[in-house]
Every structure is written in C-alpha cells, then in structure tokens.
Chain A
C-alpha cells in the first residue's frame, strides 16, 4: 500500500480506496492457505532491557514479549475485541465487576496448566505493584475471586470502563505464578528467560547480539504459528539496518526502524514493502510542550502565536517525509470514539502570529527579534533533531529567536520533568485506545515537577481540567465519559499548554513474501502467530 493512499485515507474517498485495496489484498491472501516453516529475522532496536512486558512498558520489550505471552483479549483491525486467553469477558452494567472465562487446556511453556490463579496472582502482585499504567487502571480492583480454574471475577470499588482497553498482551500480561510466587519479582531470573503460553518459546538471549525463539508445537490456537523460528537481531546503526533490510538478511522491522528518507527508497525495492497499519492502538501524537511558568510563555497569546507560526503540513512533509497527519487535539483522529473535531483550531498564519505577539506587548527590536527562547527536543533520533531545526526557522519568522539544545535521554527527562528548566520542548506520547490511559497524564496537575518522566511537562494547572479527568475516570457510563473527554479536549486546546503538531504514523518495513502481518490495531505489540511465507524454503 502506498503512503499516498494512507495519507489521503482520512477523506471519505481515500478511505474507500484503502478499504478496496485492503479487501483485494485480503482476497489474494486468503485464496492461498498459509504455509508452515521458515525463519523470520526481525530487528530489535534498541535492544530490550527486560523480556517481560508485565514489568516494563518500554517499546522494545513490548514488540518482543507478545510472541512469548498471549493477551487475555486481542484486538481486530477495527478496535473490536476478540478472544485470547479469555474466551469470554463481561463487564457489568455499573462497570464495577469484570468476569473473564478462561480458555481450557492452555499450558505454560514448561508444561504446567494456565489457570485463573495465575491471573489473580499477577493482578495483585505485579500489575498493582509494578506495572506503570496498570497501577492506575487496577487501583480500584479490591477483590479478585476465582470460583474455579477457568473463571476470574474482578471487583472494582469504582466503575472502571478503561480496563477493557488494556487487556491485550502488552497491557495486561499474565505471568506464571508457579515461577514467580515468593520471589523477588523485579529480579526474578525468568524476567529474562520468559516462560509464557504464547506461540513462540524463548530459547536464548545473547546480549548485544540476538534473541532466539522457536515455534511452540503445543500452541492452543491449533496449526499456528506457521513460522519455525524467530530471531531478533540487535542492529544499533541506522545505516546497517537499512543495509540488512536491503540485502534480505532481515525480513521485518517495526516502529520506523530507518530514517523516513531511506524507507521511501527501500519501499521501491521488489523484495520489500512499507506497512503503516497496526499502530492505531498506540494513538501516538507529537507535540510542543511549553513551560507555562516561564515569563514569555505564561501568556496564552504568546503560546497561540507560536502555534500559528508553525506550518504543520510543511513540517510533516519536510521532516517526516509525509508519515503523519497534522494534529488539532492530543486525542488522535483515528480514535473516532473519543476524538473531538470541534476544538478551537489554530491554522498556520504568520501575520496573525505577529499581531498576537504585538498585542502581548513583545514588540520586535531593531534586529527584528522580540525575545529569545531555547528548544529542547527528545533525543530519539534524526527526525526529532530536524523537528527542532524546522521549528527554530518557523519561530524566526515571527521574531522569536530560538536556540536548540541537545542532550541525552536521562539529562533530558531530568530537565523537563524534574528541574523544569526549559522553555519549549518537542516530545511524543502514546495516547492508547482510551485517553485516560495515555493522554490525560500530560495535563493532570498531580505530577508536576515530581521528576516522573513523560507526565505533565508544561506545568499546566487547571482545576476544571483536573476535575474533568477525574470524573471521566470514575464514570460508569461510556457516553458520559466520551462527553467529558470531548470537553477536556476543547478546554486544553483553548488554554494551549501543549501544542499538538502531528499524529504520528509509524511504519514497518517487511519482506513482500510475508503474509498476514497485520492482525489487529495493536499489531506493533502483537505476535507473529499469523505470519507465513509464500515459499518458506527460501527462509530456512
């Protein structure tokens, strides 16, 4: 599928074109039966710190871990839920009781049966204690009943509708109780030689080099997986990643593994293609946070002027080679249920930006400069540095002289979330499929200055917004939650502590003879159990 179709897919016409293309692709794919065999070599970049996603929500761990661990519930390509380890699930009308009916006959890779006791133990001892997102999501889960081996009933003290959005393998990974109970969980050796129920069995991790997985012959989803082996290779250099893909040594690499410019070139090769689906669950957006405690940036007029000074369409074209869409809200437009299209909008307008800055009292000096600020950017690669350069140029046009500051990740997070010693910064967050999980953290005032990475960077305090977020969290009525989140979006886009610039479109580069590589909106954190090769003998 070309990028052109993808970026225009937001219009109705584009969307139908895309659906037709997908259908055609699906028809071709399903005309053939999947073939068994072959080795898939995947790029792991950067190398995971730990192989168990229940204890780390970092993306390298996430992209690996779901091949070893199944989710309780899986996603399809339209945000609908489908059975995983749980065959059925039921959230009571008041949103306070979640019943899960587990699949029978599932075994851990060491042969022990998977039961409700594993789910209960993991919820109480891992999710509630160590999982960064689930600590909040399951905070109100005060009792877990397991009437039999295959039934889990979770009781919440408050309605908890967001829970269902996070029961996939990445969101709520179940660990084997018999290997973890009574141990030092954060230091358990099985964190790095995981034993799961998933389609592939962990074999070996040679640090700095590769991770090896082999097919699980007793997998509950009969006939799957189709691949014999999966090898995750650590390739730290971007140029080397491009070369490995080009030569065919690597057949799959997710999360925009090479610079966008290289991707366009690789996509033209006969053996490779670009895939942009399978990231919707992440709902990632890129933004410019402003430190609202700084003298110039205190004034909402100045923040609006800076927003209007940035030509977001040009920015996406120049810096991201078209991989993205201009953002108008922190909730991305693909999250149709929660996205509020009627937020105040600030299109690119240099004239009005200048007028706003004049009105705010910052007249241009003799050299055309109104004031000076510093841009910090998250050091996650070339595109972020070039974003800073683009924005520096944009600000210059409205008389704001910006200097770019470069630093490594720990220095950066300490500066933004600890010392709060910055003016504006380029940053991205994953919003996930419910704004409560990933969006509201940038606006909730509880976390300001507490040195918690990726929380409220701007230092924005608005009692009304705090209240909206809390009400939505505690509501048992989905329609009401949607309403509250829409009001939340209108409010933060009026106050503008953070300027959403881009709905990020990650891409995967994959071999063209690989089939069924997208099985859900969370494929980026999904398993390879449906993958198969046209001719597996070419990939022994």
Chain B
C-alpha cells in the first residue's frame, strides 16, 4: 500500500516536472519565434539607423555614413547580422544600442520601473473602480444608477486618451496648479526616501488616472455583463432560496464566477503592458518603455526594438500562465479540461 503510494507520488512529481519542462520549451519556442520573425520583419522597413542619424544631422558625407554603418555593423550581410544576433541571444545578451551608447538590457532596465509603476497603478486603480462600478450597475440593471454608470463608461471608452490627458493637465496643473504638468519627479530636487516617494506619487496621479479611465470603462462593461449573466444562473437562485445572505451571495457565488472573463482580460492587458502606454507616456513625458519602443521604431534602432519585443513576448507568456493559474483557483472545473 505504502509502496504504491510512493510510486503514485513520484509519478505525480514526474508529471509536474514534465509539465513544467513542456512549458519551458513552449516559452523558448515562442521567444525564438518572436526573435526570428521580428528580426526579418523589422528590416523590411525602409531606411536604417545610420540614415536616420545622417538625416537628423541635416547634412552628411558618404564617408561619414560609411563610417557609421561599419560601426553599427550594418555593412555586413543580413545572414551574418542574424547569426551574430542569435549568438548574443544564446548568451542572454540583448545587444548594444549604438545610438544610445549603452547596452539594450541596461536601457530597458532604466525604463522598466517607470512603466511598471505607471501601468501597475493604473490597472490596479481601474480594476478596483471597474469591478465596483460594474457590479453596482449590474445590481441596478436598467435603473438610474445603471444608466449613469454605463454612460460614463461609454464616454471614457470613446474619448481619446491624449485628449483626456491634456484636459486633466489644463484643469489640474495649469488652472488649479495642484499637480505637476509632466515628468516623473522634480529634477535635481535633492529629495530622498519618503519625500522622494511622495514627489513621484504627486507626479504619478495624472498619468495614472488618465490611463486608468480607459481601463475602467472596459472593466465596468465587462463586469456588469458577466454579473448580470451569473445572477441569472440556477445556482444563484438556489442559493437565494437557501437563504444565503446577500453579501456572502455576492462574494462567493456571483463575483467569483463573474471574475473569470475579467481576469482573462486583465491578463491580456498586463501582457501588453510594455507597449500599452505610449500615448500617456508621451503626453506626460513619462520616461517609460512605450516611448522608448516608439522612438526606437522611428529611429530604426532595431536592437532596442527587438529587445523590447522580446521582453514583451516573455511577459505575455508568463502572464498567460498566471491567468490560467488564477482562473483555475477561481473555478476548479477549468483545470479538469
């Protein structure tokens, strides 16, 4: 008996291990695929980094252009460039940006915290407000509160982000002078510790709220629809008949089931975190990854762009795993499929 138990346990372990191994292979496959496709796809765009630099300079001689191309390694045939790129990747090296004069990994590292802070706070804010408003609207479906919430959500969803951002700046920064216009912190203020954190928070309010408004709209509509749907289910009616108190009914029976499509959507959006905030980052001069990626595209700084896309693809895979995990916890039936 104990013997068979042990074999059962080790078999289970082996199953888990092989599952993880399979997942890691998946990850490696996705990353490699993304790298290969992007490498060649991006080179289809006309012009290269040297031409951009020469263009910005306003004038350039053929010798200068040739010197730059040689320095950037763009004078070599494409297959050699590609082999070099793969070689670097195999050593977990994302390459070097000649334009920026630093390694791509370092460049991404300096921008990542700003993006994570902005997107994290915006998504959190949006999730809390969105779930609350959505549930509120669902419980009052068709009545006044629902009409107000739904109209607001529609308005937020349809208004361009840059316009919302600019209007918030005009009202809260220029007119009322409560909040800073742009940037992530006061330059050379010499602040440290908590006072620095407060300064960053002060700068974070407007961009984070602007970005959150868009997500609030999506989440509110989603939660509203799925809460209405779940409340019509037979098991909810049964629970009501059993005399389950409304608060517990909402928390255990309704919300838990209604959250599944929301979590899936959240996962997709966190996956697009890296490029997702270009507009807001631009309007508020927020030094994040979205702007870095956009600038890299315009400047044909392909190493940087490839690096960001690669990191982005890894993030997408990881977040997908996390989404699956959370959904399985919410509804164990998903795991059995």
List A residues at the B interface (Cβ < 8 Å).
41, 49-50, 56-60, 129-133, 135-136, 186-187, 189, 191-192, 204, 206-210, 212, 229, 231, 233-237, 239-240, 243-244, 246-247, 249, 408-411, 413-415, 429-430, 438, 441, 450-455
Contact = CB atoms under 8 A, between A and B. Distances in A.
A133 B299 CA distance: 22
B31 interface: no
A414 B62 contact: no
Contacts of A450: 62
Contact of A243 (B46, B173, B184): B173
Interface residues of B, number: 54
Contacts of B61: 132, 135-136, 452
A414 B46 contact: yes
B32 to A, nearest CB: 28
B52 interface: yes
B14 to A, nearest CB: 48
A56 B58 CA distance: 9
A192 B283 contact: no
B287 interface: yes
27 contacts: A49-B56, A49-B100, A50-B101, A56-B53, A57-B58, A57-B59, A58-B58, A132-B57, A204-B188, A209-B184, A210-B183, A236-B285, A240-B182, A243-B182, A244-B182, A249-B180, A409-B55, A410-B48, A410-B52, A413-B51, A413-B54, A413-B55, A414-B51, A429-B58, A430-B58, A438-B59, A452-B62
A56 B68 CA distance: 12
A498 to B, nearest CB: 16
Contacts of A135: 61, 63-64
B47 interface: yes
Contact of A130 (B64, B107, B187, B188): B64
A314 B239 CA distance: 75
A409 B182 contact: no
Contacts of A234: 285, 287
Contacts of A229: 188
B197 interface: no
A41 B187 CA distance: 10
A240 B284 contact: yes
Contacts of B98: 187
Given A240-B169, A415-B46, A208 B287 contact: yes
B313 to A, nearest CB: 23
A81 to B, nearest CB: 23
A236 B180 contact: no
A414 B184 CA distance: 36
B18 interface: no
Interface string B292-307: 1000001110000000
A158 B117 CA distance: 61
B45 interface: yes
A119 B107 CA distance: 34
A212 B51 contact: no
A412 to B, nearest CB: 8
Nearest to B182: A240
Contacts of B71: 186-187
A55 to B, nearest CB: 9
B101 A189 contact: yes
Contacts of B298: 408-410
B94 interface: no
A240 B181 contact: yes
Contacts of B170: 243
B303 to A, nearest CB: 15
B124 interface: no
A51 to B, nearest CB: 10
B67 interface: yes
B291 interface: yes
Most buried by A among B59, B187, B188, B292: B59
A256 to B, nearest CB: 16
A49 B99 contact: yes
B17 interface: no
Contacts, number: 164
B161 to A, nearest CB: 12
B174 interface: yes
Given A49-B56, A429-B58, A454-B58, 14 more contacts: A130-B64, A132-B60, A187-B98, A187-B101, A208-B111, A243-B173, A244-B181, A247-B173, A249-B180, A409-B55, A410-B45, A410-B298, A410-B299, A453-B55
A212 B55 contact: no
A239 B165 CA distance: 10
Contacts of B55: 409-410, 413, 453-454
A207 B107 contact: yes
A59 B58 contact: yes
Given A247-B173, A411-B47, A452 B60 contact: yes
B201 interface: no
Contacts of B284: 237, 240
B171 to A, nearest CB: 11
Nearest to B185: A209
Contact of A207 (B62, B184, B282, B287): B287
Contacts of B159: none
B51 A410 contact: yes
Contact of A246 (B174, B184, B288): B174
A60 B299 CA distance: 15
A41 B64 CA distance: 34
A441 B183 contact: no
B141 to A, nearest CB: 39
Contacts of B65: 451-452
Contact of B181 (A206, A236, A247): A247
A209 B203 CA distance: 13
A132 B292 contact: no
Contacts of B181: 240, 243-244, 247, 249
Nearest to B61: A135
Nearest to B111: A208
A240 B285 CA distance: 8
A237 B283 contact: yes
A21 B16 CA distance: 83
B13 interface: no
Contacts of A451: 51, 65
B112 interface: no
Contact of B292 (A208, A249, A409): A208
Contacts of A231: 187-188
Contact of A192 (B101, B282, B285): B101
B53 A49 contact: yes
Contacts of B162: 237, 239
Nearest to B99: A49
B47 A209 contact: no
B166 interface: yes
